[in-house]
């Protein structure tokens, strides 16, 4: 008994000393806003959600004009904060100082929302503790009218950013050919934006210290000529990319969705349902036009980035419009989400909001939306060749939570919405474990967001003396049980959680 008590004390001590989990929640964010074609004088916004019952005190600074504001964020609500457009929007292919600095006393979720008339998109912000030094950009000029673009934000003073554009660009008045490397020095809160009329997908960014990267297009149709939108996403660093993905079509569209697969390493083999194997070298990408009734599995031998694009509503005469959404790999799915919808400008009364959900088929029954089981009429679609199932669920405007009864069951969640001619889309959240970095085995601590056993998965075991993931090891990479860390008590704890469920 003394040994058990000592083990629990050691485990508790380890948990208390853990750094913040590697995911999209954080206490510091440094970001910016890429240029939006529409100039109807609408300010960009930050949408801030707090997953803590106690709420959060959040301070937003815009260094370029010295403005600062502090707000209180209440649990279960979205706090919307305008930021001055002139102070935060990047313009042209130049270096500037248009950063936004967000700090909080507890972990929060932050979205950047650039809602303009007929030109809206939003992105899930990534906190500074998960940013990296290597990126490849997934821009969008798919039948676009306006420049593809990407932006970089300095997080630390004395950072050198090395850029290899995939197309010819002009930056700060200097011309650079496709593939010609050049360097830019950034201090903390300094920014740069690069634009080109040709597609900048596959441009490489290497920095001497972590930076934030956003990528997209000033205004694009994403399909046949028709209505367009500003599209943008905040891009995860290469060391968090994965090797397995599931694609889910977007509600309302009938003419399919566009997906792009981007490689970070040479000789990357990509296998996709209903497609021939594709071999990509570093910075190369493959584009897919996936029908609206197909759910596909994507697997590779080396880390890749997957991005989904909503097409113009003109292509299938639907009340939709373009947006860009980073698709997290299966290994970076979360066990619990707090996320928010976006208010669109053109017709808020006619705006509809959705989530796409992905989960292993055997775990569907334990899924909870806002503490309740999913509606009984939810339609699940099996993903061919896998044990995953996916569903599209309409949700109300506001803040929502999704979780599973079991803490080691992970869920893919993508949030998006439409009103003609505007839209938005982003992942509801994701882990940002360094699953693509070199790995060495480490001592398991519950919910540390570390691949303790170097199997490409994170926190997949329960502390229960059972081989939950079937790899021959027991309790080697632990999820957060939300229960006592004692194997003998775990079953009783889990049963009590089930009894207390909201029906």
Q: What is the pLDDT of residues 373-406, one digit of tens each?
A: 999 899 999 999 999 999 999 999 888 999 998 8
Per the CB < 8 A criterion, the answer to whether 51 and 109 are in contact is yes
Q: How many residues does the chain have?
A: 503
Structure confidence by residue, pLDDT tens digits, 178-191: 999 999 999 999 99
Burial of 471 (0-12, 13-18, 19+ CB in 10 A): middle
Report the DSSP beta bridge partners of residue 414.
356, 427
Report the DSSP beta bridge partners of residue 269.
279
Structure confidence by residue, pLDDT tens digits, 108-148: 999 998 766 655 678 999 999 999 999 999 987 655 456 88
Report the DSSP beta bridge partners of residue 305.
262
Of the candidates 222, 389, 364, 382, the one whose C-alpha atom is nearest the C-alpha of residue 307 is 222
b/e per residue 388-411 (b: at least 16 CB within 10 A): bbbbbbebebebbbbbbebbbbbb
* Backbone region of residue 286 per phi and psi (left: phi > 0; alpha: psi in -120 to 50; beta: other values): beta
Per the CB < 8 A criterion, the answer to whether 90 and 32 are in contact is yes
- pTM metric for this prediction: 0.84
DSSP single-letter state for residue 500: T
Of the candidates 134, 128, 127, the one whose C-alpha atom is nearest the C-alpha of residue 208 is 134
Which residue's entry shows tokens 């009364």?
349
Per the CB < 8 A criterion, the answer to whether 237 and 436 are in contact is no
Which residue's entry shows tokens 């003109």?
314
**437 vs 457: CA distance, rounded Å:** 13
The full 3-state SS of 445-492, as one line of letters, equals: CCCCCCCCCCCCCCCCECCCCCCCCCCCCCCCCECCCCCCCCHHHHHH
275 three-state secondary structure: coil
173 three-state secondary structure: coil
Which residue's entry shows tokens 């630390």?
156
Residue ranges, the chain, pLDDT below 50: 1-18, 144, 484-488, 490, 497, 499-503
Per the CB < 8 A criterion, the answer to whether 145 and 228 are in contact is yes
Structure confidence by residue, pLDDT tens digits, 33-87: 998 876 566 788 899 999 888 999 999 999 999 999 999 999 888 899 999 999 9
Per the CB < 8 A criterion, the answer to whether 119 and 228 are in contact is yes
Contacts of 91 (CB under 8 A, 6+ apart): 35, 193
Which residue's entry shows tokens 């349902």?
273
Contacts of 454 (CB under 8 A, 6+ apart): 439, 440, 441
**214 vs 135: CA distance, rounded Å:** 10
The pLDDT assigned to 39 comes to 57
- Dig out the tokens for 394 from the structure: 């309409």
Provide the 10 A C-beta neighbour count for residue 134: 18
The pLDDT assigned to 472 comes to 56
The percent of the chain in helix, strand and coil, each rounded to the nearest 5, is 10, 45, 45
The pLDDT assigned to 485 comes to 44
From residue 159, give the alpha-carbon distance in Å to each of 91, 102, 153: 21, 20, 10
- The DSSP secondary structure of 278-343, one letter per residue, reads EEE-TT-EEEEEE-TT--EEEEEEEEEEEEEEEPPGGGTT-S---EEEEE--GGG-BSEEEEE---
Stated as kind and residue range, the H or E segment containing 177 is none
DSSP single-letter state for residue 348: G
Burial of 162 (0-12, 13-18, 19+ CB in 10 A): middle
Of the candidates 445, 498, 382, 470, the one whose C-alpha atom is nearest the C-alpha of residue 19 is 445
- Dig out the tokens for 137 from the structure: 């950009």
Per the CB < 8 A criterion, the answer to whether 73 and 109 are in contact is no
The phi and psi torsions of 491 (rounded to 5 degrees) equal -60, -45
**421 vs 322: CA distance, rounded Å:** 9
Chain centroid to CA 190: how far? 23
502 three-state secondary structure: coil
Which residue's entry shows tokens 């190369």?
284
């Amino acid at each position: 008994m003394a040994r058990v008590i000592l083990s629990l004390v050691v485990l508790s001590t380890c948990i208390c000393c853990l750094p913040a989990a590697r995911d999209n929640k954080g206490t510091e964010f440094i970001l910016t806003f890429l240029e939006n074609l529409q100039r109807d004088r609408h300010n960009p916004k930050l949408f801030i959600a707090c997953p803590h019952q106690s709420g959060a005190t959040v301070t937003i600074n815009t260094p370029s004009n010295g403005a600062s504001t502090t707000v209180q964020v209440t649990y279960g609500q979205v706090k919307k904060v305008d930021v001055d457009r002139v102070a935060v929007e990047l313009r042209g292919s130049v270096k500037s100082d248009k950063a936004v600095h967000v700090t909080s006393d507890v972990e929060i979720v932050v979205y950047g929302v650039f809602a303009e008339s007929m030109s809206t998109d939003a992105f899930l912000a990534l906190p500074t503790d998960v940013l990296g030094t290597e990126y490849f950009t997934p821009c969008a000029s798919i039948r676009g009218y306006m420049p593809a673009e990407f932006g970089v934000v300095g997080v630390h003073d004395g950072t050198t950013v090395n850029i290899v554009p995939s197309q010819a660009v002009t930056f700060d008045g200097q011309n650079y050919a496709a593939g010609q490397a050049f360097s830019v020095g950034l201090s903390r809160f300094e920014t740069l934006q690069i634009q080109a009329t040709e597609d900048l997908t596959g441009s490489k960014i290497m920095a001497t210290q972590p930076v934030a990267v956003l990528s997209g297009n000033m205004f694009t149709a994403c399909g046949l000529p028709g209505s367009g939108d500003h599209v943008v996403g905040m891009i995860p660093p290469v060391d968090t990319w994965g090797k397995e993905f599931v694609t889910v079509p977007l509600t309302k569209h009938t003419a399919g969705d566009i997906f792009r697969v981007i490689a970070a390493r040479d000789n990357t083999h990509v296998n996709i349902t209903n497609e021939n194997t594709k071999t990509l070298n570093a910075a190369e990408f493959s584009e897919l036009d996936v029908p609206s009734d197909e759910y596909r599995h994507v697997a590779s031998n080396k880390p890749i980035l997957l991005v989904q694009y909503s097409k113009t509503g003109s292509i299938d005469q639907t009340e939709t419009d373009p947006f860009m959404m980073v698709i997290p790999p299966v290994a970076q799915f979360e066990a619990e989400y707090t996320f928010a919808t976006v208010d669109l400008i053109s017709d808020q009364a006619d705006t509809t909001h959705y989530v796409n959900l992905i989960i292993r088929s055997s775990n569907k029954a334990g899924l909870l939306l806002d503490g309740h089981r999913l509606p009984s009429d939810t339609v699940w679609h099996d993903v061919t060749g896998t044990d995953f199932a996916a569903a599209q669920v309409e949700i109300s405007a506001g803040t929502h939570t999704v979780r599973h009864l079991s803490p080691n069951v992970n869920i893919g969640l993508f949030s998006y919405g439409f009103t003609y001619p505007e839209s938005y889309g982003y992942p509801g959240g994701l882990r940002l474990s360094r699953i693509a970095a070199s790995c060495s085995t480490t001592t398991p601590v519950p919910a540390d967001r570390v691949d303790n056993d170097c199997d490409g998965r994170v926190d997949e075991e329960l502390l229960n003396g059972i081989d939950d993931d079937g790899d021959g090891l027991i309790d080697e990479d632990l999820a957060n049980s939300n229960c006592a860390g004692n194997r003998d008590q775990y079953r009783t704890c889990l049963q009590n959680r089930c009894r207390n469920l909201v029906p």
